[in-house]
Amino acid sequence: MSKNFIDALLETKDFKNSLYSILKHSFLYHSNKIEGSTFTTEALALLLDKNVVTGKHTLDDVQETVNSSYVFDRIVETLGKKIDDQFLKDLHARLMFNTTMHQRGYAGVYKTIPNMIIGTKVKIAQPFEVQSRLDELLEWYYSLDKITLSDIASFHYKFEIIHPFQDGNGRIGRFLMLKQMLENNLSIKIVSWDSEDLYRESLNLCDLDNQEPLSKYLETLEDFREEYKELWESM
């Protein structure tokens, strides 16, 4: 009898070239590249598999790439755990550990300086609004009976326009999407760096009353589960 996707993912966690490592590599490569990482897919594979850094990168890029690997593991380890302030701040602290943001005291804490989403005209929450708007978002999400991909798109948009951290909001937001897709046995949609413009445009076209543009964008992306169906269903 074939295993379900989550069981197969967990069972292959410690093996190279496995379902777990393929999802991890694909997710991190695209999510980090959207934020300007200079790691190629080959260089990222070397870092994840052999702890070897090749190519020219800033120190922050190397550290954040290493950190993102640990955050991915944390996301899988905590499937089923509710998202709350402690969880969000812990993810951010892990992502920003030993980076410039960490040295400046901005790791694992909500923002104190107004910020924005580059490439969009979206109005972002002010620092004093972050806590109440996050509370409202999480209360709404956990009140849903059956979570759909459309709900996850709505959550992602609302999280991004809160932009709770000084930096790293896009990466944290996409990690949360991955967690939500896995927990709800949905298609695994990885926002790809080569469709970054469409991703940002879809965010720009959304508003608090309509997140359909982002939902439609996600629907155009390949489903990782389907792409590697033979790999995990054969277990």
- Binding-site members are 167-174
Q: What residues are labeled active site?
A: 163
Known binding site for ATP: residues? 167-174
- For the CA atoms of 132, 135, 138, 144, the dihedral, rounded to the nearest 10 degrees, stands at -90
Q: Which residue has the tokens 């896995």?
A: 182
For residues 95 and 125, is the Cβ–Cβ distance under 8 A? no
Sign of CA dihedral 141, 89, 119, 29: negative
